[in-house]
Every structure is written in structure tokens, then in C-alpha cells.
């Protein structure tokens, strides 16, 4: 696995996810944003584990990698009433 390509792909995915969350993360839309982030993280986890014959990645390690590239599980919620 080419690590430079993988890191670049992860950073790009994190950038897209953060952009979507920043646009849609208002107080009345928490459930939808949380669901989007959760499913995005699941897809990345499955992508990590696609290579046959290699050791499977655990959620703990996957979360550590995603935190390292700046994709946190929680974002700041903006109130639409203030």
C-alpha cells in the first residue's frame, strides 16, 4: 500500500467531510450531521480493511488515525436562533 497516496486520500476525504459538516452543522440539524459523520467513518474503516491477506485494522487504531488527520467525531454546533 502506498502510504503517501493513502495519506493524501484520507486528508482529502477529511477535508470534504469537514466542509460538509461546517455548512450543515446548525442546532436543528444535529442528528443528520452526526449520522453523516458516523457513516463516513464507517466507510473509511471498511476501506482500510479491504486489502485481503493483511491484518485487519481495529476501530481503536482507525479512530487514532482519523484524529491525527483532523477528523474528529464531534463538531461545533452553530445556533440558528442567535
pLDDT of residue 33: 86
Q: Which residue has the higher pLDDT, 49 or 80?
A: 49
pTM: 0.76
- Res 10: pLDDT: 87
Taking 80 as the threshold, does the pLDDT of residue 39 lie above it? yes
The residue-averaged pLDDT of 3-17 equals 84
DSSP string, 12-80: HHHHHHHHHHHHH-BGGGHHHHHHHHHHHHHHHHHHHT-STTSPPPPHHHHHHHHHHTT--S--PPBPS
Q: What is the mean pLDDT of the chain?
A: 82
Amino acid at each position: 500500500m502506498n502510504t503517501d497516496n493513502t495519506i493524501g486520500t484520507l486528508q482529502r476525504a477529511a477535508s470534504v467531510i469537514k466542509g460538509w459538516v461546517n455548512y450543515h452543522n446548525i442546532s436543528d440539524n444535529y442528528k443528520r450531521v452526526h449520522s453523516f459523520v458516523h457513516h463516513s467513518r464507517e466507510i473509511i474503516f471498511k476501506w482500510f480493511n479491504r486489502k485481503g491477506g493483511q491484518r485487519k485494522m481495529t476501530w481503536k487504531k482507525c479512530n487514532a488515525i482519523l484524529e491525527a488527520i483532523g477528523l474528529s467525531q464531534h463538531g461545533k454546533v452553530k445556533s440558528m436562533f442567535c
